[in-house]
Amino acid sequence: MGPLLNAAVLALALDTGLVAGVIIWRIAQAPDSFSILDLGPLLVAAGVLTALIAFLFNLRRARSEDLLEAATDLLEKAYENLAPKGESTLPSNRRLTWLSTARLIITAETLGKRITEPSHELIYREKKEYWRTRLYELIWPSIEGLPSSFYAESPEHMIARSGDVRDPLSEKSLAFLYRFVRWPEDTPDPLGNEPNFTDEEIDRMRSFGPRGLGSLIAEARRLRQSEVGNDAQPGVQAELRQNAGEARLTLR
């Protein structure tokens, strides 16, 4: 549809130029005998091309919208596939469930790459980020992650297993989902340039609310300044950096 739409736009541009050229030529040659009826065929062609272009634009947008809806629906189904069922608080650890979840996301990504409208592309990115975060919280609930027994009853079963043990999760599906839920390294954080609270904002919160948050941030600032002033030893600094890195990883 892209080449056809481009060809229609080009044809309309040529037709418009031809109409303008004919008008200028006829007026220059015989202004008294010029009639708009002389341009009838060209004007009809321009009308047809305009209608065709409008149809193709609407068709492209409709297809893009269908792709957006299908891709986001697959991401939602992928999450629901793994979500805890019944009274369980853990995601499903059935091998087939993890494989089908990974395949649903792969299909969603394939459809997402075919979206053509910029507004739809933006919506898909935001919805993908939403479901990516939900999956992250589901399969990576803490820095420790899920217990190793969740993935397989023993490491040996990842290599070979008998019929009387639970099937281990596929390493390929684990690797795919692990990579999917992590923050993409080539994607800038939208909050990267957002400044922290100013002192004026903190003072205002402590006075007019939310006071709990204002007091917390003020005390954290005081502790941070105290640590900097005490010139912490290298070992302590390394531990602080490690804790900060773990906190950032958990937030993402």
Write out pLDDT tens, residues 32-53.
554 555 556 655 666 666 766 6
Q: Is the pLDDT of residue 100 over 60?
A: yes
b/e for 75-114, b at 16 or more Cβ within 10 A? bebbbebbeeeeeeeebbbebeebbbbbebbebbeebbee
Q: Is the pLDDT of residue 98 over 70?
A: yes
Per-chain mean pLDDT for the chain: 80
b/e for 171-198, b at 16 or more Cβ within 10 A? eebbebbeebbeeeeeeeeeeeeeeeee
pTM recorded for the entire structure: 0.68
pLDDT at 250: 42
Q: Is the pLDDT of residue 189 over 90?
A: no
Q: Is the pLDDT of residue 230 over 70?
A: no
User: Which has the higher per-residue pLDDT, 123 or 184?
Assistant: 123
pLDDT at 221: 92
When pLDDT is averaged across residues 165-169 and rounded to a whole number, the result is 89
- What one-letter code names the amino acid at 129? E
What are the residue ranges spanned by the domains of the chain? 2-181, 199-237
pLDDT at 191: 84
- The total number of residues shown for the chain amounts to 252
User: Which has the higher per-residue pLDDT, 155 or 176?
Assistant: 176
pLDDT at 251: 42
When pLDDT is averaged across residues 215-229 and rounded to a whole number, the result is 89
Give the whole-number percent of the chain exceeding pLDDT 70.
Answer: 68
Q: Is the pLDDT of residue 9 over 90?
A: no
pLDDT at 142: 87
Q: φ, ψ for residue 138 (rounded to 5)?
A: -80, -45
Residue 120's pLDDT band, with cuts at 50, 70 and 90, is very high
User: Which has the higher per-residue pLDDT, 104 or 159?
Assistant: 104
Burial degree of 49 (CB within 10 A; 0-12, 13-18, 19+): buried
Helix then strand then coil, in percent of the chain rounded to 5, is 75, 0, 25
